[in-house]
Amino acid sequence: MRLYIKMLSLSTALSVVFFMAYLSEYFAVVNGEFFLNLNKPIFLPKSIFFNTALPLIYVVYIISITISVYHKETRKTLVFWVLIAILNITWCAVFFKFKMLYLAQEIIMLILAIMVYLECVFIRKNLKLALLILPITIFYVFAVVLSFGFIVIN
C-alpha cells in the first residue's frame, strides 16, 4: 500500500508538472516576436538563465508535489499546486499571446501569494518541504520584479 501511494504521488506530480511545462512552453513560443520587440529591463538575465533555471525549478516542483501528496497532513495542498500550474499556463498565454502585461503582472503576483501561503503551511507541517520549495518562491519573487520591470519600461 505504501509503495502504491508513493507511485501515485510521483505520477500525480509528473502529470501536473508536464502539463504545466508543455502548455507554458506552447504559449511562450506562439508569439515570440512580441517579446523580441519589447523594451527589456536591464536586469533581464540572458536566456541561458531560464534554460537552466526552469528545468531545475520543474524538478523541485516534481519532488515537492510528490512529497506533498505522499504525506497525509499535506495532501490537501495538491489543489494549490494544480492552481499554480493553471496560473502559470495562463500567465504565459496572457503575456505572450494576448500581450496583456498588467494582467500578467496580477497573475504572477497571485502565484507568488499562493507560494507564500504554501511556505506558511509547510513551515508548520513539514519544515523540510518548506525549505525545498524556497527556490520556487524566490524564482517567483524575481518573476514579479521582472514582470513589473516590463510594465514600467513599456
Distance separating alpha carbons of residues 70 and 46, to the nearest angstrom: 37
Rounded to the nearest 5 percent, the helix, strand and coil shares of the chain are: 90, 0, 10
* pLDDT in single tens digits along all 154 residues of the chain: 789 999 999 999 999 999 999 999 898 875 567 888 889 999 999 989 988 999 999 999 999 999 999 999 999 999 999 999 999 999 999 998 899 999 999 999 999 999 999 999 999 999 999 999 999 999 999 999 999 999 999 9
Please list, residue by residue across 36-62, b when 16 or more beta carbons sit within 10 angstroms of its beta carbon and e when fewer do.
eeeeebeeeeeeeeeeeeeeebbebbb
Residue 117: other Cβ atoms inside 10 A: 12
d(CA 140, CA 46): 17
Are the beta carbons of 47 and 35 closer than 8 angstroms? no
Classify the phi-psi angles of 99: left when phi > 0, otherwise alpha if psi is within -120 to 50, otherwise beta: left
What's residue 60's pLDDT? Answer: 97
Query: Cα–chain-centroid distance for residue 18?
Result: 12
Query: What local confidence, expressed as pLDDT, does residue 68 receive?
Result: 96
